[in-house]
Amino acid sequence: MEFEPVDQYQQRLKKLRDIEALGYAAYPHKFDWTHTAKKLLDAFRDETAERLAADRVEVRVAGRVVALRPHGKAAFAHISGDGARLQIYVKLDVVGEAAFKLFQLLDLGDIIGVSGHLFRTKTNELTVWVEKLELLSKALLPMPEKWHGLADVEQRYRRRYVDLIVNDRAREIFTRRTQIIRELRNFFDERHYMEVETPMMHPILGGATARPFITHHNTFDMDLYLRIAPELYLKRLVVGGFDRVYEMNRNFRNEGVDAIHEREFTMLEFYQAYSDFEDLMDLTEDLFRMLAQKVCGSTTIPYGQEDSKIDLDFSRFARLSMREAINKYWPAAAGATPEVAQLAASGGPHTIAERYNAWARSHGAKPIVEPAKLSDGEVTGELFESIAESHLIQPTFIYDFPTAISPLSKKRPNDPSVTERFELFIAGMELANGFSELNDPVDQERRFRAQVEKGGQEAPKEVDVDYIRALSHGLPPTAGEGIGVDRLVMLLTNSHSIREVVLFPLLRAEMTEVAESQSGAPSTHDTKSGGTK
């Protein structure tokens, strides 16, 4: 196989053969190193030229060649490793003829190992005085342009490995993502939550409302859904006596794609017995503050592009009921502001939606679609999304979600039209969703049946009878929450597309010549021969 640019690819192959002719292995098996480039730069940052000359520190470092500055019989280069760039100095009369020939056959992108001692150049840059040089792996394809790197967004996603080599920003986002995930685990581990793994393939759709991906198990001849949420399994574990559990893993939803929606996304869900949604809001505040402090070094973090940059203040979280939010953000031009009591009254949300729609139609805003077909609770949810959601920039909990749109949440004892449920909004995005879990099996079965009867592609086709059975064994009063990890990473890395924080985002297949020549190749039937690992 060959890749563009073919001339440079061929040229590099030829150099590889020349290197072998010099007696070097093309792809040697091991390089015995003492430091990464980064560790070395950190460790000797304060060593003076005099000290280095006196101590003669021997090091062996490996890395990718990212800059070459040959000068006839000597040369400077930079190698990158572990996220840092280290200068090396190669001299003919030090390394010898064969190694210097090898050096002259190196290209940008090659991976090499060098041995030597440290010194400082006359511009005081810490540098390896190379005594021994070896090729560890040849790059047959050239690096992108050295000043601008790889800028094309599509190529950055399709060839993330190149993006990571040349764009420090990409590298920074993903190292930070890993740090965030580690801190999330620490937070829950320290509080004695047990990390568990529940099925990714579900026989019955549940735990959220979303269109699923469907797959098939051949031996059992059974259709399965890639999970849209782990919720119902995690609560079964609380029934089983694991009072505090969490799971951080992928959910899959077969819906549209945009800046804040990926088809597979990472969700952190946790459940705790003998708690309610108020406890969760307090815990969530602690969690977000801790993360901002540890990952960004401050509870105030910048978010947005230059022209619309804002500081997100994680030191205090607003709390509003959904009805209060509609009241607060009602557009003044749309007439008298609806009172919370009106929104709570039977038929009230419909009256208000009519008024809102009249204004929206005449002002180019999107009206609520066919409110007459919706319940009061559904209309309230629609009003909230239309009127308030985009205003929720600073961290804000919205609570008292309508029962009609919260089939798994416990109702408020003093107002059964709403539930003990909240969502956390930051920068106009939904970051978290938590509630006091409905643990009355009779009520849960009634709500499941209503979902099935209502139908639609997002609704389960059947009631999850086993889940009702589990509840019938007794689920303690429990609170549970899901946090969108990708969106959290967006916030903490000031990224504005979810694809920036996912290593390999889903893109349409790229129709290349190679793909065309192999089209139809992968067979879908089981084969006994070959290809097994």
Partner RNA sequence: GGGCCGCUAGCUCAAUGGUAGAGCAGCUGACUCUUAAUCAGCGGGUUGGAGGUUCGAGUCCUCCGCGGCUCACCA
Query: Contact positions toward RNA, by CB under 7 A?
Result: 4-5, 7-8, 11, 15, 67-74, 76, 78, 87, 89, 91-93, 107-108, 119, 121-123, 125, 127, 142-155, 157, 208-210, 253, 255-256, 258-259, 261-263, 265, 366, 369, 430, 458, 484, 496-497, 499, 505, 507-511
Closest distance to RNA from the beta carbon of 473 (Å): 28
Nearest to 426 by CA among 378, 504, 489: 489
Nearer to RNA, 194 or 200 (CB): 200
Q: Between the CA of residue 200 and those of 229, 321, 451, 462, what are the distances in Å?
A: 9, 34, 22, 19
Closest distance to RNA from the beta carbon of 496 (Å): 7
Nearer to RNA, 209 or 299 (CB): 209
Structure tokens at 410: 């416990």
Distance of CA 388 to the CA centre of its chain: 26
Structure tokens at 226: 């890639």
Closest distance to RNA from the beta carbon of 417 (Å): 19
Q: Between the CA of residue 124 and those of 74, 77, 527, what are the distances in Å?
A: 18, 15, 62
Q: How far apart are CA 262 and CA 357, in angstroms?
A: 31
319 φ/ψ sector (left φ>0, alpha ψ -120 to 50, else beta): beta
Q: How many CA atoms lie within 13 A of 387 on its CB side?
A: 30
Closest distance to RNA from the beta carbon of 52 (Å): 11
Q: How far apart are CA 181 and CA 295, in angstroms?
A: 11
The helix or strand, by DSSP H or E, that contains position 419, with its residue range, turns out to be: strand 415-419
Q: Burial code of 80-89, b = ≥16 C-beta within 10 A, e = fewer?
A: bbbebbbbbb
Structure tokens at 405: 């749109």
Nearer to RNA, 145 or 189 (CB): 145
Tokens 């694809």 belong to residue:
499
Nearer to RNA, 194 or 210 (CB): 210
Closest distance to RNA from the beta carbon of 430 (Å): 4
Nearer to RNA, 18 or 243 (CB): 18
Nearer to RNA, 113 or 505 (CB): 505
Closest distance to RNA from the beta carbon of 237 (Å): 23
Tokens 């929450």 belong to residue:
481
Closest distance to RNA from the beta carbon of 14 (Å): 8
Nearer to RNA, 190 or 510 (CB): 510
Nearer to RNA, 183 or 430 (CB): 430
Q: How far apart are CA 245 and CA 240, in angstroms?
A: 11
Closest distance to RNA from the beta carbon of 6 (Å): 8
